[in-house]
Amino acid sequence: MARRILECVPNFSEGRDMSVIRQITDVIESVEGVKLLDIDPGKDTNRTVVTFVGDPEAVTEAAFLAVKKASEIIDMSHHHGEHPRFGATDVLPLVPVSGISMDETVTFARKLAERIGNELKIPAYCYESAALSDQRKNLAAVRSGEYEGLPEKLSKPEWKPDFGPSEFNPKTGAIAV
């Protein structure tokens, strides 16, 4: 049986302060069974893309802890950058690499989104293969209006998050998983 490997490529809304970025990546690296592959900060976009892999359970735990840390140390009400965004952890894609199907990956993504919504109280949307409705498959649609439009978006029944509160949290924004 092939070793199960899941990849996670979160995008954090901080690309300038390496001490903030390092706090997030330290949390990821603290999880046994996870290998941090890349950290790609962008000053203009004020966004960092991180890539890590490992056992699916370890990867989803590291992803949750990274989202938690980002929600504690990134304040979206002060964020400015050139890339579309709507949350401290803007997107949290999970990608099957080896020994795991897309259907299994979707299950992990939905459980992770549910945990983020319930435990961290961050409005969480599932997108692409994990989307719970056709209108949420496309990331651009999910993120439409960006952070600044989130208060209005969250008030619309058709944009109620898949998990978590429908109330706007100015510090964390929302997340797409």
| Catalytic residue ranges | 83
- How far apart are the C-alpha atoms of 37 and 24, rounded to whole Å? 14
- DSSP state string for 21-82: HHHHHHHHHTSTTEEEEEEEEETTTTEEEEEEEE-HHHHHHHHHHHHHHHHHH--GGG---S
Instruction: Please name every residue paired with 6 in a beta bridge, in sequence order, or none if there are none.
Output: 54, 96
